[in-house]
């Protein structure tokens, strides 16, 4: 739902009283002032009462729902009710004494659904005011770049954020057409603005819950380095925002949206031209000129939907753009493993339609909703596992970027595949292994010491062709374009190139599973020391390392990693569920992987009991 003004959210009180009206196209007479007051009061009472018993679930009003089938399109009855979702955003108010309703910044900002009173206008007003206060505390006085993706809650959150930013007299850079802006385009904009400056630096806000379901919203802050904010910054903003909510939002400065848009501090910025025109400095398009390759991209209804036509026009006229439309219900997706809609371009369920049509294209690619993650589909292999494609990118880039220094290294998260370690060793390149979180790569990208960085969840970025920084946040567009480049240059698609790597370095089997754990057990796991693990062997092999800190920067990993010559596992507590996640890999096949997983659970249970 991309609307040029939010008057329907603020003024059509008949819709608030009957949120289904928007979907059915009903019109109503202009209500009187007394009627407006009564509707607001009644609406608030109903909202508070019905939310408690699950009334604002956001689905169709059908009483009987048929469960969605994984890998199949969702049933219409199960689609999110957009008008009710926006109503929940404006009418439900968080209780700061309830943990689930407080502002909570994870590795990718604050996320939640308005239905659960976890992502509502109060949250966004408080977070934005907290960011304004943080900027003053840090002396950040340049413009703030503001971006949004295509989730239904992103537009209302954009309006709320701009109202607060304008009231705080902060210069804000919004898209020329108030359109969607991918995360990497914002990172690129911040870095470009700050490149020749020592003071009055810019920063940014990206409004996105990434690939999360349609009913979710997300809000994250990127400091002047252009990448994800570190824990010190997010904790400061989180604490201040919760303090503001607890105090009844009295600290929030705010002006009406129309005035905020017209404010002298609100500026239009052409994100798309700046990003697209610069792409030739990170991707070599020369081998793709007049290419006979059949290429396709699916934006998955995300923030890059208007970027791909411009990319095709400038560099790849033969690029076919699949599903070029935006629909905030995301009804065009195939559902994920649990029947829910997620724009997860690394999931074989969410990508089922592209996999089914793999024979039509030499290479096809997709990106998630804010375009910071990638998915690669080839005719020979289907959907590549993210770990597999990361290793292919590394092998290709470090043999096809002659301007990169021989000292430039590789960055990976500690739950990424060990085939990356073997490829790095084969290339004689240094490797930095860090905890989960893209923020750990920022410094290495800025100073050019890391040429390629990636994580197992299909997030990556890499340097420009001249060895200078491109983005310091994940970029889901350039890995797809790189897949086209490497296929044109080598005559082999990424799936075939990965097969060559496995012939040389071994063929790993990788899987992530969940295991039940209480809150106390999760807390113990997060604080384990290597001495608490007494085992000497794992799946028949001697243990070579027991890690609770990342070897690349000695930062706590918030869990445990155990390694052998041909396998490893890592265990980390979930931040949202009573489980811990076990990542495991074996170079000796599926049976050996199962042994690792079984023994990993026993080993962890013994350590945290």
- The sign of the dihedral angle between the CA atoms of 11, 16, 19, 25 is negative
SS (H, E, C) 262-321: HCCCEEEECHHHHHHHHHHHCCCCHHHCCCCCCEEEECCCCCCCCHHHHHHHHCCCCCEE
Q: How open is the CA angle 127-179-222, to the nearest 5 degrees? A: 35
Q: In 3-state terms, what secondary structure has residue 521?
A: helix
Looking up tokens 């086209």, which residue turns up?
Answer: 484
DSSP annotation of 344: -
Q: Residue 557: in which H helix or E strand, if any? A: strand 556-563
User: Angle between the 494-505 and 386-397 helix axes, to the nearest 10 degrees?
Assistant: 90
Contact by Cβ (8 Å): 421, 411: no
Catalytic option among 113, 210, 347, 457: 210
The counts of H helices and E strands in the chain are: 20, 23
Q: Which residues, at least 6 apart from 112, have a Cβ–Cβ distance to it below 8 Å?
A: 118, 119, 123, 216, 217
Q: What are the distances in angstroms from CA 454 to CA 151, 401, 473, 475, 477?
A: 25, 18, 10, 10, 14
Of the candidates 459, 372, 477, 368, the residue with the CA atom closest to the CA atom of residue 411 = 459
Q: 272: exposed, middle or buried (C-beta count within 10 Å: 0-12, 13-18, 19+)?
A: buried
Contact by Cβ (8 Å): 210, 369: yes
Q: What are the distances in angstroms from CA 161 to CA 20, 123, 340, 521?
A: 26, 10, 29, 38
- Strands 203-207 vs 216-222: parallel, antiparallel or unpaired: antiparallel
Return d(Cα 256, Cα 5) in angstroms, integer: 11
Of the candidates 184, 351, 371, 202, the residue with the CA atom closest to the CA atom of residue 282 = 184
Q: Which residues partner with 219 through β-bridges?
A: 110
Return d(Cα 131, Cα 137) in angstroms, integer: 10
Annotated active-site residue 210? The verdict is yes
What region, left, alpha or beta, does residue 189 occupy, with left being phi > 0 and alpha being psi -120 to 50 degrees?
alpha
Q: Which residues, at least 6 apart from 208, have a Cβ–Cβ distance to it below 8 Å?
A: 147, 148, 149, 151, 154, 183, 218, 220, 303, 369, 370
- Looking at the annotation, which residues are catalytic? 210
């Amino acid at each position: 739902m991309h609307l040029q003004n939010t008057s329907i959210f603020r003024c059509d009180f008949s819709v608030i009283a009957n949120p289904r009206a928007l979907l059915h196209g009903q019109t109503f007479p202009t209500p009187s002032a007394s009627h407006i007051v009564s509707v607001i009061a009644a609406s608030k009472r109903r909202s508070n009462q019905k939310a408690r018993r699950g009334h604002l679930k956001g689905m169709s009003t059908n009483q009987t729902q048929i469960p969605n089938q994984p890998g199949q399109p969702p049933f219409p009855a199960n689609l999110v009710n957009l008008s009710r979702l926006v109503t929940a955003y404006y009418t439900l108010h968080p209780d700061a004494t309830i943990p689930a309703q407080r502002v909570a910044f994870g590795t990718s900002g604050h996320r939640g659904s308005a239905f659960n009173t976890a992502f509502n206008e109060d949250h966004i007003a408080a977070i934005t005011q907290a960011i304004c206060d943080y900027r003053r505390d840090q002396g950040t006085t340049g413009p703030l770049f503001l971006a949004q993706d295509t989730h239904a809650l992103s537009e209302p959150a954009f309006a709320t954020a701009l109202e607060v930013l304008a009231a705080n007299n902060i210069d804000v850079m919004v898209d020329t057409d108030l359109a969607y802006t991918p995360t990497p385009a914002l990172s690129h904009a911040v870095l470009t603005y700050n490149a020749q400056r020592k003071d009055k630096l810019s920063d940014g806000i990206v409004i996105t819950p990434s690939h999360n379901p349609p009913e979710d919203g997300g809000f994250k802050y990127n400091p002047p380095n252009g990448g994800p904010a570190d824990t010190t910054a997010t904790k400061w903003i989180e604490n201040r925002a919760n303090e503001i909510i607890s105090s009844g939002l009295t600290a929030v400065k705010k002006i009406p949206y129309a005035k905020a848009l017209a404010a002298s501090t609100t500026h239009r910025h052409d994100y798309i031209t700046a990003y697209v025109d610069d792409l030739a400095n990170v991707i070599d398009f020369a081998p793709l000129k007049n290419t006979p390759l059949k290429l396709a991209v699916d934006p998955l209804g995300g923030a890059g939907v208007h970027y791909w036509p411009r990319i095709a026009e400038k560099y790849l006229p033969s690029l076919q753009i699949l599903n070029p439309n935006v629909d905030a219900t995301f009804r065009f997706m195939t559902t994920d493993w649990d029947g829910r809609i997620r724009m997860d371009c690394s999931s074989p369920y969410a990508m089922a339609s592209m996999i089914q049509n793999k024979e039509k294209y030499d290479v096809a690619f997709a990106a998630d909703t804010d375009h910071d993650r990638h998915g690669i589909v080839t005719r020979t292999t289907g959907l590549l596992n993210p770990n597999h494609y990361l290793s292919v990118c590394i092998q290709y880039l470090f043999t096809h970027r002659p301007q990169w220094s021989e000292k430039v290294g590789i960055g990976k998260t500690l739950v990424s595949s060990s085939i990356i370690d073997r490829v790095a060793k084969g290339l004689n390149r240094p490797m930095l292994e860090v905890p989960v979180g893209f923020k750990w790569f920022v410094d290495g990208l800025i100073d050019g010491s890391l040429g390629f960085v990636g994580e197992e969840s299909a997030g990556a970025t890499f340097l420009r062709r001249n060895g200078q920084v491109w983005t310091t946040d994940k970029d889901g567009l350039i890995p797809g374009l790189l897949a086209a480049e490497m296929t044109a240059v080598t005559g082999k698609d990424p799936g075939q190139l990965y097969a060559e790597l496995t012939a040389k370095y071994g063929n790993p089997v990788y899987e992530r599973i969940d295991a039940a754990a209480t809150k106390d057990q999760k807390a113990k796991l997060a604080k384990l020391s290597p001495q608490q693990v007494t085992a000497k062997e794992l799946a028949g092999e001697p243990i070579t390392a027991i890690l609770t800190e990342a070897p690349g920067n000695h930062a706590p990993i918030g869990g445990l990693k155990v390694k052998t010559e041909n396998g490893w596992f890592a265990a980390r507590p979930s931040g949202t569920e009573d489980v811990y996640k076990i990542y495991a890999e074996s170079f000796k096949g599926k049976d050996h992987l199962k042994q690792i997983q079984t023994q990993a659970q026993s080993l962890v249970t013994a350590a945290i009991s």
